[in-house]
Amino acid sequence: NLKTAIEAYALLPDQIRKQYELVLIGHPESQSGAVRELAGQMGLAGSVRIFEPAPDEDLLYFYKLASIFVFPSLYEGFGLPVIEAMAAGCPIICSNATCLPEIVGDGALLVDPLNKEEWRDNILMVLESGQLRNSLIKKGQTRASQFSWEKSVQEHLKLYYAKN
């Protein structure tokens, strides 16, 4: 749902767009031309940066450098990117669709994935309120700590042995 992300970014005040770039990571090359075209049509060509999929160890740097992790997903299998971003201490604004509300709990702001004005408003709130930003970081890290590969393996083993 990059269209909503780009449209919401375009609705931000000029001074905010001058201060913050929209960085897209892991976008399939087959679709990046359409994303660049949309950004260009909206006058954002110099403000939207598209990166190839990054190795996991590099994603941590992107999460730590981001002012906000915006995730307007329409379809999500589990929500691993939001857990990674929360664990890295990045405030999250994500879609209120699919599994995401259950995954993030109170560790993120939840937004209608198609409402670009609501995305803009929430982005501005996080950028302009240090208190909200810090609260989201703290709650996000607490929530992310409830997920781990070790815990996942233990839970799967419990299920496996319970059936045998």
Query: Quick one: DSSP state of residue 52?
Result: P
Contact (Cβ atoms closer than 8 angstroms) between residue 106 and residue 143: yes
Whole-number Å distance between alpha carbons of 28 and 25: 9
What pTM was estimated for this model as a whole? 0.88
Model confidence over 62-79: pLDDT tens digits?
999 999 999 999 998 888
Q: Which residue has the tokens 């890295």?
A: 88
Summary mean pLDDT of the chain: 91
pLDDT for residue 84: 95
pLDDT of residue 152: 67
Q: Which two tokens stand for residue 92?
A: 């999250």
Q: What is the pLDDT of residues 24-49, one digit of tens each?
A: 998 665 567 888 899 999 999 889 99
Is the pLDDT reported for residue 91 higher than 90?
yes
Q: How, if at all, do strands 92-95 and 109-111 pair?
A: parallel
